[in-house]
């Protein structure tokens, strides 16, 4: 069973503002494997939540200026390839040793295994402007975790993705939001943003019991706006 919670990301790093999602999974080793799977779709989530184009009332040209601010305040947005809980603990210890500003509780990574409990933490976008959007994004992340869990338990796994390409995909999402193209990290090429959004939805639909109508309403409303 996958449980989910959402909390705004706050102090001690004021620049790290975003929506943080926490999904509980059966064990920590599974969490390590799931967080690799989620990298494929997090740039899409990032684009869906992009809503911070201004800095001091000036249009930055980015759909998500918070992304740029976060890169200035963290050691990096992408965790290295970790293959076990021991790998994660070792890397977290090294991070704490080299900087006093990043702790286990306030990660710069978009996704990582939970530092204490059996779960996955996701921080890959701006805080949503409305409750409905927040609920929808939380439901989609939960569904992505459920889908990844089912694939892994069935012996299916995605091939490793290029981390440089994932970073570029996040930058593109921050730059354009859903108004242009996004990078499909599986294919290594740009595709229309809404094409990827609908494909993401179709992929995780099995993990959306009870939330399908909410997601369909969101897609219908925002497709028209886009």
CB contact set of 112 (below 8 Å; sequence gap of 6+): 35, 79, 88, 120, 121
The average pLDDT across 68-75 equals 70
User: What does 49-101 look like in DSSP terms, one character per residue?
Assistant: H--B-EETTEE-S-SBHHHHHHHHHSS-SS-----SHHHHHHHHHHHHHH-SS
pLDDT band for position 213 (50/70/90)?
A: low
Q: Cα–Cα distance between 216 and 77 in angstroms, integer?
A: 30
C-alpha distances out from residue 13 to 16, 43, 64, 105, Å:
6, 23, 18, 11
Judged against a pLDDT cut of 50, whether residue 63 lies above it is answered with yes
Give me the pLDDT at residue 92, please: 66
Using the 8-state DSSP alphabet, how is residue 206 labeled?
G
Six token digits for residue 211: 């939330």
Tokens 């509780």, residue located: 105
The average pLDDT across 196-220 equals 75
Q: Which has more confidence, 174 or 112? A: 174
Q: Cα–Cα distance between 178 and 213 in angstroms, integer?
A: 21
| Prediction pTM value | 0.78
Which of the listed CATH numbers 3.10.310.30, 3.10.520.10, 3.30.160.100, 3.30.590.20 matches domain 3-209? 3.30.590.20
The predicted-structure confidence for 1-22, as pLDDT tens digits, reads as follows 344 443 333 333 334 457 788 8
Judged against a pLDDT cut of 80, whether residue 79 lies above it is answered with no
- Write out the H or E segment, with its range, that includes residue 1: none
Task: Check if the beta carbon of residue 124 is closer than 8 Å to that of residue 45.
Answer: yes
Beta pairing, strands 19-24 & 119-123? antiparallel
SS3 7: strand
Six token digits for residue 78: 């992408």
Cα pseudo-dihedral 91, 102, 139, 223, rounded to 10: -110
Judged against a pLDDT cut of 60, whether residue 167 lies above it is answered with yes
- Average pLDDT across the chain, whole number: 77
CB contact set of 61 (below 8 Å; sequence gap of 6+): 53, 175
Q: Cα–Cα distance between 161 and 74 in angstroms, integer?
A: 22
Give me the pLDDT at residue 174, please: 93
With pLDDT > 70 as the criterion, what percentage of the chain qualifies? 68
pLDDT band for position 80 (50/70/90)?
A: low
The predicted-structure confidence for 127-162, as pLDDT tens digits, reads as follows 888 887 888 888 888 889 988 888 888 888 777 788
Give me the pLDDT at residue 62, please: 95
Q: What does the domain layout of the chain look like in residue ranges?
A: 3-209
Give me the pLDDT at residue 104, please: 45
Of the ranges 8-22, 25-39, 81-95, 190-204, which one carries the lowest mean pLDDT score? Answer: 8-22
């Amino acid at each position: 069973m996958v449980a989910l919670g959402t909390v705004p990301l706050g102090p001690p790093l004021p620049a790290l503002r975003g929506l943080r999602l926490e999904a509980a999974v059966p064990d920590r080793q599974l969490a390590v494997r799931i967080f690799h799977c989620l990298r494929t779709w997090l740039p899409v989530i990032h684009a869906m939540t992009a809503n911070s184009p201004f800095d001091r009332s000036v249009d930055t040209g980015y759909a998500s200026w918070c992304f740029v601010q976060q890169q200035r305040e963290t050691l990096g947005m992408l965790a290295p390839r970790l293959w076990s809980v021991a790998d994660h603990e070792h890397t977290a210890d090294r991070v704490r040793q080299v900087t006093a500003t990043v702790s286990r509780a306030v990660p710069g990574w978009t996704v990582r295994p939970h530092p204490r409990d059996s779960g996955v933490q996701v921080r890959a976008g701006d805080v949503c402007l409305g409750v409905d959007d927040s609920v929808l994004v939380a439901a989609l992340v939960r569904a992505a975790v459920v889908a990844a869990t089912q694939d892994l338990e069935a012996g299916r796994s995605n091939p490793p993705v290029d981390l440089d390409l994932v970073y570029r995909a996040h930058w593109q999402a921050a730059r354009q939001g859903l108004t242009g193209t996004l990078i499909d990290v599986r294919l290594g090429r740009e595709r229309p943003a809404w094409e990827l959004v609908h494909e993401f939805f179709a992929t995780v639909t099995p993990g959306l019991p009870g939330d399908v109508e909410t997601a369909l309403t969101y897609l219908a409303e925002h497709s028209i706006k886009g």
